[in-house]
Structure 1
Amino acid sequence: MWADEYLRKKEELKGERRYNPAPTTKQCTEYFKVPHKDMLALLNRLERNGLIKKERHLSAGLEGNGYDGSLFSSVLPTTHGRALVLNDPN
């Protein structure tokens, strides 16, 4: 759902210079209410299996703290990952 919203908004803003934040590792952690290190371990495993793509950022972070490599990495499903979710009957 987050990826669909992000991609829809990205298409709407095409050509505009407005920031469209992608879903992040922090957003996943807060949504699933698990420790961040556990969420990162899960996301890293999903990435190794080709189900998601994490894009690590090298900026100063969303809150200007000077770091965001693991906390604010964007998380988007791959084509293969999306197909698995869409075809799952559960």
Structure 2
Amino acid sequence: MPKYKMFPFYECPDEVDVKQENGVKKQTETKSPPANGEPPKTNKRKKSKEVTFEKTLNSIRQSKRLPRAQKGHHEDELDQMVRG
């Protein structure tokens, strides 16, 4: 009887090994070297665009959350405009 019978989703390691041997073969990475004798190129990350200090400040300013205005503040401004 399996050790973890109360967990139906758990598979014992023995069962997993049998499944791999029966149908699924692991892929091995065997790459042949280039025919011209050069060493294979390593994947390098693309250099990102130059980031300037001003661009960084602008992005921070744009992402800041500003406090919301109080409800009804427009009515006060309209009253002042009508009276003034």
TM-score normalised to structure 2 length: 0.20
- Computing the radius of gyration from Cα coordinates, the structure with the larger value is 2
Instruction: Tell me which of the two structures has the higher relative contact order, counting C-alpha pairs closer than 8 angstroms and 6 or more residues apart.
Output: 1
Which has more helix, going by share of residues? 1
Which has more strand, going by share of residues? 1
TM-score normalised to structure 1 length: 0.19
